[in-house]
Structures are given as structure tokens and as C-alpha cells.
Homo-oligomer: A and B are copies of this chain.
């Protein structure tokens, strides 16, 4: 899917985890000029030889096609997210050292960073809310969920009864992969069009409103909907032998306290791409960044 871009780019990556290291390497291998700041110690050995590692903004050039911050750009609201660097880089430091000529691409942008970018006259783009990134990240998320399910159950997914709640990106890919491995897949959703998608893809379907009558039969329940689905009532109909894997971002879709009280195992699995497949997640970040740059060029 990586489109052949006509011209190579000059990029500065600042901070991030193993995914960012992979993104840096891929960008470099594609022939771009890549600077990396915010990686120290052993992990610099993982950076490809053509990457120009710098330790400080003072070593940095003035202009890049883009400055790429991590996903998420911060975890404490003050400093950049640099788990692989020995020192903290404050957000203020970042913006004071980036020329307004540059575009900044960052992950999970909130009001704070938007304000800072505006103050410094810098164009800011949130690459983490791009649809293609969300779609492609559904793949490592689904695989991570399958890996957890395999590790946590004494039976094979093959021939097991699996329920996938929600038919968005993750629901679509997860149900396809489960089917591919031989599980008996039921898809549950609210909307008729999503149930129709499930039927057309060959799965059993059940409206969420009718889940209570069927939920007792599943060996594994995967939730992808970020609102209270598996509540007191539904949990009362689920066997203790059932495994629940909640893939929904906060607040999740399970009454965790009630599940604990009933002895039903629930695993709330968040941020799977970076955990189970950092290389794949890095490739996705890299290709998304280049999509953004290409569109910016085309739109002038």
C-alpha cells in the first residue's frame, strides 16, 4: 500500500518506543534522510546505520519535511514520551526548538499540544486518528487478542464458540481471523447494517439486544465496544469457564467488579499493537506518516 513517492524526504523523529525505532528504520531504508533524537543506550544499535542519531536539538537542522513525535506524544502531560532515552525531554523544549517552518506529526494529540503548536505557529497533525492507521492497527490488535486467548485457555480456538461484540474495524478483522483458525464465530452488534455485514461474511449474528438469550454458550467473549455491554445482567448468564477479553479503550465494556465477584476471568487488553508486534506497528506508523506528507504536498 506504500505509495511510491516521487521525492525523498528529510525527517526528524523525536522519542517513542520500539515502534518508532522501526518506523525510523523503514523511513531510512526507503531512501529518506532521517534524524533521530530521544534514543540512547543499547537501543541505538537497533537503529539502521544510515539514521543520524542526535542527542540534542542543537545538533538538529532547522527544516524538515516533518518532525514526528511519539504515539502517544506524552504520558505525563509534561515531557515527551521517551521510554528509550536516558533523559527527559520537556514538551516546552520540543516546541522551542522547532522552527515554525516545520510540520509536526504527533500521536493522540490533546488540547495541550494543540495550544502549544498554535502558540508557536506550527502546523500540527495527529497521525493516530488517521483512518488507515486505525484500520491497519486492527490487525496486530486482533492477533494479540488471539494470542492471549490461546495462552489463557486449555482448549483450542479451533471448534470453540467465540463471540465478537462490535463490528467496527477490530471486530471485522478479529472475526475473520478467528474464523480462519477454525473457531465458530458469532458477531453481535446493535445496528442492522453491522449484523448484515456479519451475515454476509458468513458468521452467526445476534443483535446486542438479544444477547442475554445466547451468551451462555460461548467459550470466549471478545468485546470491542467502549461502553458498558457486559453488565450485571449479562454477566449473570456467563459461565465461570468463559474467558472475556476486553479490547475496548476506556472505560472498557465490562463490569469488571461484578465479573471478579462472579469468578469470571476478564483480561482488559489495551495497546496491543506496540506490545505484541512493535515492528508491524512501526511499519503502520511509517506508512501513515508518508500518506499524510503526500496528501499535504498534493493539496499544496
- List chain A positions with a Cβ less than 8 A from chain B: 1, 3-4, 18, 130-133, 135-136, 138-140, 143, 146-147, 150-151, 153-159, 169, 172-173, 176-177, 179-182, 191-193, 195-202, 205, 207, 210, 276-280, 291
Copies of this chain in the oligomer: 4
Complex contacts, A179 vs chain B, CB 8 Å: 180
| Pairwise interchain contact B155-A280, C-beta atoms closer than 8 A | yes
Chain B: minimal CB distance from A187 (Å): 10
| Most chain B CB atoms below 10 A, which of A130, A135, A146, A279 | A135
| Alpha-carbon gap, A191 to B132, bound state (A) | 9
| Pairwise interchain contact B277-A132, C-beta atoms closer than 8 A | no
Chain B: minimal CB distance from A231 (Å): 21
Contact partner, A132, options B155, B195, B201, Cβ 8 Å = B195
Contact partner, A200, options B139, B146, B279, Cβ 8 Å = B139
| Pairwise interchain contact B18-A200, C-beta atoms closer than 8 A | no
Complex contacts, A280 vs chain B, CB 8 Å: 154-156, 158-159
Chain B: minimal CB distance from A286 (Å): 13
Given contacts A1-B195, A1-B199, A181-B181, 16 further A-B contacts (CB under 8 A): A1-B196, A131-B196, A132-B192, A135-B197, A135-B200, A136-B199, A136-B200, A139-B156, A139-B159, A143-B158, A150-B276, A153-B277, A154-B279, A155-B277, A172-B197, A182-B202
Complex contacts, A200 vs chain B, CB 8 Å: 135-136, 138-139, 158, 169, 172-173
